[in-house]
Structure 1
Amino acid sequence: MLRIDPDTTGRGPRTTAVRRGTAGWALLGSELKVLFRRSRTWAMLLALAAIPVLIAVVVKIASSGPDPGEGPPFLDRVSQNGLFAAVTGLVVSIPLFLPLTVGVVAGDTIAGEAGLGTLRYLLAAPAGRLRLLAVKYAGAAVFCLAATVSVVAAGIGIGAALFPVGPVTLLSGDTITPGESLLRLLLVAGYVSVSLLGLSAVGLFISTLTVVPVGAMAATVVLSIVAQVLDSLPQLEWLHPWLFSHYWLGFADLLRQPVEWGSFVDNALLQAGYLAVFGALAYARFARKDILT
């Protein structure tokens, strides 16, 4: 197995022998290093983290709290328990901000390498196009988790700093301890991360269609908005269960006692379906792609 190392001598990329069994992990590690060393990645994560911070600060300085049902869901509970700042931050982020950042990363997976001219070097070693696609998708999936955790962690931090933190009253009316509440928030973060995997697969496929990463990013984000618009039209109710955005806000079922896992399972199966379909389409396109152009 060969690995392509960056050119530091001016004589072109250097190949290094790598055991085939570890090549995939090495490639994934390299992909994650590149992704999380970019200032753009950290700027997006910080922007996401700023959302619950802004919400909590506005609620804190407001002369009176919002009435129940006013504003985003759970907003009226933020002043009563700071942990709800994380949940409200996710509700606000899901329709636009999380899909926007995920679209940027997923749309850049293949098109970014092609646009920079580095794709041919990545495929010069016998790593295989399927393995490269899998690594690129895995990097986008890790970003989905990082993006969601950024919102939740910032919400917990600012909520605890500005508001009291105590037992949480769930949507079912039951009360759980702050420790149990943190576990529920981790479940919610996992739910939202899984919800974004279908969009990542769509973005990966679009990224194989072009060498212009901005175009792939924009198309992915636009499709996420279109899916949500279609999901809001009652005339298309038959289509709703097939849209990757349909279960995005279904994490409310994790805030009940006992936990209702139906939405989680349905959401996971839907995202797995999108991954299977658009992953196959991405490979079909990528397998025939001329990397010299």
Structure 2
Amino acid sequence: MNTNSPHRSGSVAVIGRPNVGKSTLTNALVGAKISITSNRPQTTRHRLLGIATFPAGQIVLVDTPGLHKQQGKFSASAMSRVMNRAARGALEGVDAGLLVIEAGRWDEEDTLAYNVLSDAGIPVVLVINKVDRLRDKSALLPFLAQVSDGREFAAIHPVSALKKNGLESLTKDVLALLPEAPPMFGEDEITDRSERFLAGELIREQLMRQLGAELPYATTTEIERFTEDGEMLRIGAVIWVERESQKAIVIGKGGTRLKEIGSKARMQMEHLFGRKVFLETWVRVREGWSDDETALKAFGYE
């Protein structure tokens, strides 16, 4: 690498329809897990920054909820409106955009995401994710021709975010689109979010992974206590649901489900924070919270 080349730094929005792997890509580029993932759409509900620092420059990735059409029961909810606003708001002041799609698939919501980026007047890099899942690799070139026809991309990169394939050339092309500038964040910083916020997200990740089919959008988390006790973090978290019947589902028979959720979330926290965590969880009911903008604001939704 040419050490005399100018240092580049800037912000890049990561946009796409739900469940294409935007958070997995953000984590892979940052080199740490800052954005939660599951196989359920709309796992990401908040806009957050992932800071990826390289010798040649710094990419500040703005990970966003999936853009989706306003239709159906969930899409008509306050939660849906908040998430779409967060995704569109991510474009304010960014230098470039990554349009993340799934290999072999392009639908109306991909077109919506492309149009949002195109209207922002920024360079757009097409990231075709999950190429490792494409059974017929010979179908990739015709697919590339199809999706790029009539659309303008600064670069196109087939990748597997999960397996970290294709990311080096993607990084190089993204850095080339950024202005010459010093780093926006310190070398050891990986996100703009606090450990308190990340703790809540890691609990919600386990809720989505273990209960996503039963309660896809009816749960959220609130950190009530976050204190340092020597080398240990003591965290008290509330899991909010909308009905008493949902509370029973989260707790599980004899409390086994809640214990499993807490145990896995705690292990993820200890890995991310690099210290021991003592985690307590409670389940409470607040009817209709996901369709109440006041409640959403209280729970930290932008």
TM-score of the two chains, using structure 1 as the length reference: 0.21
Question: Larger Cα Rg: Structure 1 or Structure 2?
Answer: 1
Higher RCO (CA 8 Å, separation ≥ 6 residues): 1
**More helix by percentage:** 1
